[in-house]
Amino acid sequence: MKKPDIASVAVVGTGVIGRSWIQVFARAGCRVRAFDQNPEQLARAMAWFKADLKDLRSRGEIKKREAKARWDLVEAVDSLEDAVAGAGYVQESGPENLAAKRALYAEIDRCAAPRTIIGSSTSTIDMTEVAAGLPGAARCIVAHPVNPPHVVPAVEILGGTETDRKVVKRTIKFMMGLGQTPIVMYRFAPGFVMNRLQSALVREAVDLVKSGVCDVQSVDDAIREGLGLRWALLGPFGVANTNADHGAAEYFARFGESYHALWDDLKTDIRFDDDLLRRIGKQTDRMLPSTHQTQRAWRDRMVGRIRRLKAEDPLPLKPRRRTKTGKR
């Protein structure tokens, strides 16, 4: 993989998402300065990064030299000013709160060089609101990853109303250089793309359990051993394209009325309550008796293997058209 065109980055906020971004950037050969307003959080993030490198070595995925090279690229610093000094890109992963984002972005905008791109890991907030009134609003952008981004490559890219088109293009190019997959959005929608899709599926999964149609394991088996096997390779439109001799248009024309009937039947009033949460928690723990840490480690290993298999035998795809960049 070629090195990305931005050599120095800052990670601001080092919780679960921020620490994972450290691995993404270091893996791609970027020099990384990490900062968190909570020194203990920053120390935990660096300890996690060290342990993750050790785990990669133990599985034979990287050599000792590579682990040391990544570790040497990362520096934990004591101030925001030190973190963003010389950085061509900043990844903000602070609290998911508009007021907190606005305050943090104002500080980053004040400290960072004029051409530095400021990306946010926000999963819900419109960059137009975050960057409103900032002198550097034109270089502010959403770069929302799937958790954890060092394992799952998809990153949603969305500019605000003031974001420069060139910043959107540079961010897309940078993310591709990191080995991530940009999910380009043309306008804001609550939850962006991935959380909207996920929420729709989870809503129906919860309703199936609450209404007694099936239990937690049956829902998970339906995805794990059914739909998810296809979705790991092709998205919903790609799957439809392979389900009919003449592609997606034929498939949806043939089953359109069935989809309409199901859409009309899908409920929208499902809500979590204490009893439902207890049922879901108890059934899930029975289905997955190992520790959460063990489950996450297995998930990360298996996702890595799936990605390597797909890379070894890729389906040829046309390159993304660059006719739009997310500017509204």
Find, among 141, 137, 87, the residue nearest to 116 by Cα.
87
Question: Do residues 86 and 214 both lie within one domain?
Answer: no
In a domain, 314, yes or no: no
Residue at token pair 């829902």: 219
Question: Do residues 138 and 253 both lie within one domain?
Answer: no
Number of domains in the chain: 2
In a domain, 230, yes or no: yes
In a domain, 101, yes or no: yes
User: Per the structure block, which two tokens stand in for 142?
Assistant: 């959403």
In a domain, 2, yes or no: no
Question: Do residues 140 and 66 both lie within one domain?
Answer: yes
Domain boundary among 184, 217, 233: 184
Q: Provide the CA 159 distance to its chain's centre, in angstroms.
A: 16
Question: Do residues 281 and 242 both lie within one domain?
Answer: yes
Q: Domain holding 260: CATH number?
A: 1.10.1040.10
Of 269 and 47, the one with more pLDDT: 47
Q: Report DSSP letters for 96-156, one per residue.
A: S-HHHHHHHHHHHHHHS-TT-EEEE--SS--HHHHSTT-TTGGGEEEEEEPSSTTT--EEE
Domain boundary among 155, 184, 213: 184
In a domain, 79, yes or no: yes
Question: Do residues 166 and 253 both lie within one domain?
Answer: no
When the pLDDT of each residue in the chain is averaged and rounded to a whole number, the result is 94
Question: Do residues 144 and 20 both lie within one domain?
Answer: yes
In a domain, 298, yes or no: no
Domain that holds residue 263: 195-289
DSSP character for 224?
Answer: I
Domain boundary among 184, 207, 235: 184
Looking at residue 212, what is its pLDDT? Answer: 95
In a domain, 190, yes or no: no
Question: Do residues 75 and 168 both lie within one domain?
Answer: yes
Question: Do residues 107 and 255 both lie within one domain?
Answer: no
The residue type of 294 is T
Q: Domain holding 104: CATH number?
A: 3.40.50.720
Looking at residue 262, what is its pLDDT? Answer: 94
Question: Do residues 81 and 171 both lie within one domain?
Answer: yes
pLDDT in tens, 227-266: 999 999 999 999 999 999 999 999 999 999 999 999 999 9
Query: pTM for the whole thing?
Result: 0.90
Question: Do residues 149 and 16 both lie within one domain?
Answer: yes
In a domain, 295, yes or no: no
pLDDT in tens, 55-99: 999 999 999 999 999 999 999 999 999 999 999 999 999 999 999
Count other Cβ atoms within 10 Å, centred on residue 132. 15
Question: Do residues 56 and 201 both lie within one domain?
Answer: no
